[in-house]
Structure 1
Amino acid sequence: MLMGSAAHAQTTPAPVADAQQNSGTIAPSGDQGQSIDPAPETPAAGDDIVVTGVRASLQSAQNIKRNSAQIVDSIVAEDIGKLPDRNIAEALQRISGIQIQRNFGEGSSVAIRGLTQVRTELNGRDIFTASGSSNALSLEDVPSELLAGIDVYKNPSADLIEDQLSGTINFRTRKPFDFDGFKISGAVTNTYYDLIKKSQPAASLLLSDRWNTGIGEIGILASASYQKTNFRQDTISTEPFYTLDESNPGDAATAALLGRTGQTTTLPHGTGIGEVFGDRRRLGIDVSLQWRPTDTLEFTGEVFRNDYKLRSYGYSYFAYTSGASITPLAGAPFTYAPNGDFQSGTFTDVPIGNNTSLGSRHSVTTDYSLNGKWKPTANLTITGDLQYVDSKTDNLNSIVGLSGVATTLTQDISGEIPSFQITSADGLANPATYSKGFYLDNLNNSKGTDKVGRLDGEYRFDGGILSSIKAGFRFADRRNRTSDTGYRYTGLTGAATNLRYVDLSGFFRGQADLFGDIQAFSLPTVLNYDDTRESLGITTTPGYVPSGTNTQAQKTYTGYAAAFFKADDLPVPIDGNLGVRVVQSKVAVSGFYQQVDLITAPDGTQSTAAPTFTEVNEATKYTSVLPSLNVRGRLTDRLQLRFAASKNISRPNFNQLNPSLTITEPGTAQIDQQHVTSTGNPYLKPMKSTNFDASLEWYFAKSGSLTVAGFYKDISNYIQTVITPRDVTFTDGVTATYDVTTYSNAAKAKVKGAEVAYQQFFDFLPGPLAGLGVQANFTYVDSEAPSPASDGPVTQLSLEGLSKYNYNLIGIYERGILSARVAYNWRSKFLVTTSANGTGNLPQFQKPSGQLDASITANITPHLSLTLNGTNLTNTVRSTFYGITTRPRDSIMSDRQISGVARITF
């Protein structure tokens, strides 16, 4: 089964975009980098062959890679609003060296060559989602229909903006001067999600035109995209494992009860499920105006706005003891792995919890930009650029929890899907089982701004080895503020009310061996925050206080110079660039340590007291000198060899620097649960990397190539996630232990690996088989960093989010009106986090997994096409484990998606 899109012979030649600029810093929009093949095939007399569809997109992407001054991979939309995948991250995973993380079934973030420190740009400028957790754009936020293409720069040059270790992802939008004149394109889509059993629409529209006027040529383009999606995610979890310590009398008694005295024995402290439903809504608008008053002067203004909403809601049900010991049922059979890890058995008197929850995020990012380009002489080009980014995010979390005690908990984690049974005296679907309850709500918002100005100049020489010199200056003032109420705890007294019966028979598509149905607080009520509080008799919302706000300010002053050279007279012609980038960074952060105690009334009800807090401020300044070298040797007209060496930095993101820490006293209904919180580290240093890259590239056809690349990165001050236990005693004498997630600079990390990429259409095959084609790539990445754990079975780790092996196999078929594609992506085991809560600092890994996607298109006319897409056709279950495979963590199942698309273009 293979993929593709129809190619048509037309009589009107298509315009060819300008070749990519040397720098790539502010990449041109549209299908950049197209060039004439050095040995083009000659069409029959009188025929002008114009390749369209997938062949054209692959050819354009190949030309960008071939002609770039750096090592670049690209994805180009085969038509307006038609990237090969509707989700940006899903499209990026098809590029060699890129691996993605998923959030509720959709790709949401990427790693390039094993590193997640990725820079995101829009048309060569900053773009980000305001958040306490990232300095970059959330890839799930942006509708892919707004993009003309995506370029991935895998090694830096002096004129590329710093602040990444792994690469830069540049999203390109279209401009009115990309088209000859009037252009209109639109599409409507409907997608069915099979686990949640719902369908949702999407639509996009682009209008563009250009005119010659008395004041020069003017063009206007406006495009908009609307998407609404649903999802469901079912999760089976095994709660953290603890090894019995027989020096502790309680653990010694447990070992004796199990007949395991003197033997290593590790027990999980419970289990649980989560059934999460949700929806996403994306609204994107892009408006650009271009004015060319003379042949030597051009201005481009653009407003790009992205409005994203995410809502997740549902039930979780769990039986676990947290850090408290768990009691085996006397006489019940138990089994163990050879290393002493529990595999099956029965426990008694285990606390149970039942949560109904709502989480929502609303992010709006608006990017205003103005670019001017002036060529006072044929050799000199001066470019000025101004940008202002405004981004806002609002979050809400609302949780109604019920708790009780299970009579027995029987677990079996030996199979692919863990199973468990819970029993209670009154039954899990009986409100009488739940003797306690609580309500947690939390509000937070973030606002980020960025003011950027830059000036670049390039002088081209008419002869000699030195082809051009480029220099520039950039100033950026980035600010972020996050305000958080902290979780407000409200204890609930009396019998549980407003409950609903929850049918779990379809959970995990019916493949899970579980405990049956439950009663839980009403989900329709929880979906409305005001109704939830009214139902519980809570009249106020959590208040923002000064101690709940943290701020970050980052100013950078950058200068660079680069020399571009070209020596065609050598036995092996070479070209490239040599440059240096000097950056001064000034970073200031502020926040608070906040402690929230509880007040217990005489009747036992509990409420939060006024918080106490201490302000924390920290400021740093440092200068980075970042040299770079890129060299290309053209061994033949079709074979070229590249080498690159560079230094780069990646600053800690704002969440990692945030010094704020909130500790809230647990209520009586929570005291036996695990207590977690998180904070940043304002003393983190920027990560530094020394990079070496090489690639051998063979372009044997206009859309056929075979490339092999190798890379090595030596990183210092690598930032890892760590968990530190902290005992806190509150004013009423209650003491609780909190697992505090934070960050530290590991001493060193190394990343090395290789990529192989191949694409070809098999035009030499007879008849209909000539429409067959293939894309394939394989990536090997090896990395190592010290584990935060001081002892235990895992002392050296790969980097977070990195699979050692990753491949894509994409089949293509393109013939006549038919276009088809089948894409399989697979990645090996990877590290999710270096420290998972309650594991004794053991890391958490995800098992190997693959996913199959497919599409078929009928190009009914040159202006109308119909497409059928399928995503996650293999119904992939993603599973994680604590450190070693005998300690499972999560098994996660998401929707399969089937969508139909109708597209018109004139």
Structure 2
Amino acid sequence: MRFTCLSIVEYIYRLYINRKIYFINAICRSALRPVMSAFYDLSGSIPLYQSDAAAFDPSNYKFDETSYEHRRAREDLYQARADFRTPIGIGDDSTIQVGAKYTSRRKTNDAESVIYGGYDDDFTLDQVQDGSIDSIFKGRYPFGATISRPSADSFFQSNLAGFELDEEGTVGDSLAADYLIREKIFATYAMATLKFGTFTAIPGVRMEKTKSNYAAKDILDTTTVADLGKDYDSFGSQSYTDFFPGLNLRWNATPSLVLRAAVTRAIGRANYEQLAPTTVVNASDNEVTRGNPALRPLTSTNYDLAGEYYIGRKGILSIAGFYKTIENPIYTATVVQSGTFAGQALVDAQVTMPVNADSAFVKGIEINAQTELSFLPAPLDGFSIGGSITFVKSRAKGIPGRGNERLPLASQSNRVASAFLSYEKGGLSARVAYTYRSAYLLEPGEDTDTDLYVGAFNQWDARIGYDIVKNVTIFLEGSNLNDEPYRVFQGISSRTDEVERYGYSVKTGIQFKF
């Protein structure tokens, strides 16, 4: 259940202007007409909000809505595979291998939601109040009273006649996530492993034939709860065949130095939610949200070079360079279109859907180093240290609605790094690790000012374990110990769109090795 201020809250403020502090006066029009004062501090990357005591009085919050929902997802998967390998009289211990694989998948998703609102009599938060939370987000925001779920459910069941069904919300939440996917993939391959002394070559090719059928539902302004049990009325299909040749080369130049090179081709299919032909038409706002059953999988041609130098038993220095050309990269975009959507004719509608851009490239270099510190005196000789960093540049073109503009590849950071310090000796194992990734493009907007980015992320993790007996280890580990938030910003880093903080997680247990 949600509770809101007894009536409309009026806010008078301006955001993102000279990064100053702005005060907001919020007036709740009610029988008591309490005046709530509050202010925002926008000087940092995360806004600060504070309000007076009236905002924490649960009697000032009136019932808004309650929803009851559940989802049923099912996937039936059938696979068959056969492989055959035989030695051939070329080089040293060379082989040839062929095989085939068949996959048949049927996946359904069925969501059901019932939303009620519009309670006639006064129903305020203090009637179903649970405990109070002093603050959230590391003390940044006071929170106040919470809702007791048992009390709220009991009130709802006892006063059901006084609530009104939110038909629009019920229909939208119940139908928008419903879909049926049928997918069949037949794959076959042939490859050889050719060994000539210190040199190994692995040429091969794989063929995949994919046939898919999709079904979902249309949601219009005229759709009612009577349509909730209807069959699928929106359909789509795809059928395509791809070939993936590849060549991997390895040269053991010395006992400690290995050089590698590869040219390969790969495929990345869209999520099923993106392929489902769901169409949601909001004619009053001239907006359409839809899936795209014609969305093509992205394919890439990959060029890789790497050198590895091994130091002792656990030490390595490596450097690798890569270049990838990508066809049909996938984005979510909003474009202006005129046409017929689910039988509804619209002119210059705002249409949001997953789309294929024309092409993209990714290039970069990765440096990795790790070694054990066995030269240290005991007991310090159990330490190991390591780290890696990757520098990446990516660009995509042909994104609908952005003309000839080149944007970064979605979900691709320009910098990714990690480091660790570990210890293993006498049954004791411990590890502290740090990971970092720079900001990346989440979703392109209409222009650079409305592009959504996920902010940079730093995380610390740790684990300690001890072998209490042979093959039995007791351990304690923690993740995101620095409580790094997930942040989304619009255009520039100071325009915060969303901040989520999850805190750290800790788990312990006993591990058995067999």
**Cα drift, residue 677 of structure 1:** 8.1
Match of 2:432 among 822, 828, 850: 822
Match of 1:807 among 405, 417, 422: 417
Paired AA for residue 537 in structure 1: L
Q: Is the 8 A contact 1:319 1:350 kept in 2?
A: no
The one-character-per-residue Cα deviations of 1:703-757 (angstroms, maximum 9, x if unpaired) are 2212211111111111101235899xxxxxxx9x997642000111111112222
**Residue ranges of structure 2 left out of the alignment (5+ in a row):** 339-345
Superposition TM-score, scaled by structure 2 size: 0.81
Equivalents in 1 of 2:449, 2:287: separation in Å?
A: 14
Structure 2 counterpart of 1:522: 148
SS in 2 for 1:655: helix
Equivalents in 2 of 1:680, 1:350: separation in Å?
A: 41
Paired AA for residue 59 in structure 2: P
Match of 2:327 among 716, 727, 730: 716
Q: Is the 8 A contact 1:589 1:682 kept in 2?
A: yes
Structure 2 counterpart of 1:551: 180
Structure 1 counterpart of 2:450: 842
Paired AA for residue 326 in structure 2: I
Equivalents in 2 of 1:335, 1:564: separation in Å?
A: 60
| Identical aligned residues as a percent | 25
SS in 2 for 1:685: coil
The one-character-per-residue Cα deviations of 1:137-180 (angstroms, maximum 9, x if unpaired) are xxxxxxxxxxxxxxxxxxxxxxxxxxxxxxxxxxxxxxxxxxxx
**Cα drift, residue 408 of structure 1:** 5.4
Q: Is the 8 A contact 1:319 1:406 kept in 2?
A: no
Say whether residues 1:495 and 2:122 are aligned partners. Answer: yes
Match of 1:594 among 202, 216, 219: 219
**Cα drift, residue 816 of structure 1:** 2.7
Say whether residues 1:417 and 2:43 are aligned partners. Answer: no
SS in 2 for 1:506: strand
SS in 2 for 1:875: coil
Structure 1 counterpart of 2:57: 429
Larger mean CA deviation between 493-502 and 876-885 belongs to 493-502
The one-character-per-residue Cα deviations of 1:366-409 (angstroms, maximum 9, x if unpaired) are xxxxxxxxxxxxxxxxxxxxxxxxxxxxxxxxxxxxxx998655
> Alpha carbons of 1:583 and 1:873: their partners in 2 closer, same or farther (altered >3 Å)?
closer
Say whether residues 1:474 and 2:474 are aligned partners. Answer: no
Structure 1 counterpart of 2:86: 459
Say whether residues 1:534 and 2:145 are aligned partners. Answer: no
Match of 1:696 among 284, 307, 310: 307
> Alpha carbons of 1:877 and 1:616: their partners in 2 closer, same or farther (altered >3 Å)?
closer
**Cα drift, residue 463 of structure 1:** 4.7
Match of 1:574 among 156, 181, 199: 199
Equivalents in 2 of 1:580, 1:703: separation in Å?
A: 34
Q: Is the 8 A contact 1:828 1:848 kept in 2?
A: yes
Structure 1 counterpart of 2:134: 505
Paired AA for residue 620 in structure 1: Q
Say whether residues 1:583 and 2:260 are aligned partners. Answer: no
Equivalents in 2 of 1:348, 1:686: separation in Å?
A: 51
Structure 1 counterpart of 2:341: none
Equivalents in 2 of 1:745, 1:450: separation in Å?
A: 28
**Cα drift, residue 787 of structure 1:** 8.7
Equivalents in 2 of 1:725, 1:442: separation in Å?
A: 33
**Cα drift, residue 596 of structure 1:** 5.3
Structure 2 counterpart of 1:61: none
> Alpha carbons of 1:860 and 1:591: their partners in 2 closer, same or farther (altered >3 Å)?
closer
Q: Is the 8 A contact 2:107 2:180 kept in 1?
A: yes
Equivalents in 2 of 1:335, 1:829: separation in Å?
A: 20
Equivalents in 1 of 2:117, 2:283: separation in Å?
A: 11
The one-character-per-residue Cα deviations of 1:539-577 (angstroms, maximum 9, x if unpaired) are 999799999742111112222111221122xxxx31121
Match of 1:632 among 250, 257, 281: 250
Equivalents in 2 of 1:832, 1:350: separation in Å?
A: 36
Q: 5 Å matches for 1:195-344?
A: 328=12, 336-337=17-18, 343-344=20-21
> Alpha carbons of 1:487 and 1:643: their partners in 2 closer, same or farther (altered >3 Å)?
farther
> Alpha carbons of 1:547 and 1:769: their partners in 2 closer, same or farther (altered >3 Å)?
closer
Equivalents in 2 of 1:346, 1:587: separation in Å?
A: 55
> Alpha carbons of 1:875 and 1:427: their partners in 2 closer, same or farther (altered >3 Å)?
closer
Q: Is the 8 A contact 1:502 1:517 kept in 2?
A: no
Equivalents in 2 of 1:614, 1:773: separation in Å?
A: 58
Q: Is the 8 A contact 2:358 2:398 kept in 1?
A: no
Match of 1:857 among 465, 475, 500: 465
Q: Is the 8 A contact 2:45 2:495 kept in 1?
A: no
Q: Is the 8 A contact 2:182 2:214 kept in 1?
A: yes
**Cα drift, residue 873 of structure 1:** 2.5
> Alpha carbons of 1:578 and 1:533: their partners in 2 closer, same or farther (altered >3 Å)?
farther
Structure 2 counterpart of 1:660: 278
Match of 1:873 among 472, 478, 481: 481
The one-character-per-residue Cα deviations of 1:656-687 (angstroms, maximum 9, x if unpaired) are 11011345899xxxxxxx99985311111121
Structure 2 counterpart of 1:683: 294
Say whether residues 1:345 and 2:22 are aligned partners. Answer: yes
> Alpha carbons of 1:523 and 1:834: their partners in 2 closer, same or farther (altered >3 Å)?
farther
Q: 5 Å matches for 1:757-772?
A: 757-772=368-383
Paired AA for residue 452 in structure 1: Q
Q: Is the 8 A contact 2:16 2:495 kept in 1?
A: no
**Cα drift, residue 646 of structure 1:** 1.4
Q: Is the 8 A contact 1:753 1:781 kept in 2?
A: yes
**Cα drift, residue 904 of structure 1:** 5.7
